[in-house]
Chain A
């Protein structure tokens, strides 16, 4: 059983650029969520995908978008990067439902300069 894997592990981008982060969910998990963790803060919910459809979104602007593929892997896209987007981006997969265990990847550290 493979865990949640994210790529890349680190990334440096310039303000105004676009970035794509990738996540492979744990085997058998059909739900993927993305979280942003700023330095010294707890993770904040960006959005969740269930069977290729977005089914929940946090308080993030539309320039944060995502995709989920038929194999349940996922992408997070951020357009028009701002300095405040610098953070650890975490992907989590689960079997759906508010009470199920979410399995987290190691995250992608994004630095915007």
Chain B
């Protein structure tokens, strides 16, 4: 069965510092990978996605992620965070051969940015 592991439940960081949020996926077949952000009392918003091609994916708000097939990882990075980046971040996968989108989410990482 598909599963996504987010190794850190909470990541505290100072404003303007770099951050990496870790994600490992389980699927051994074709897989699509996503990072979503959830601000308090809101739904999820897509940051970026990997379907195929270049392993470095750039998203919105300065975020990027690198797909590493050998390590089954899809870590999210930002070189300099802002207070406004404080939110819950979810990594998700969707099998590429199911014909429909069933997103399997990790348990989330809370990013806490302080001044």
A binding-site residues for B, Cβ under 8 Å: 4, 31, 33, 35, 40-45, 48, 50, 55-56, 58, 90, 92, 94, 96-107
Contact = CB atoms under 8 A, between A and B. Distances in A.
A58 B106 CA distance: 15
B3 to A, nearest CB: 11
A102 B40 CA distance: 19
Interface residues of B, number: 28
A44 to B, nearest CB: 7
A39 to B, nearest CB: 11
Interface in B15-54: 32, 36, 41-46, 49, 51
Contacts of A33: 101-103
B90 A56 contact: no
B115 interface: no
Nearest to A42: B105
Contact of A43 (B44, B51, B98): B44
Contacts of A43: 44, 90, 103, 105
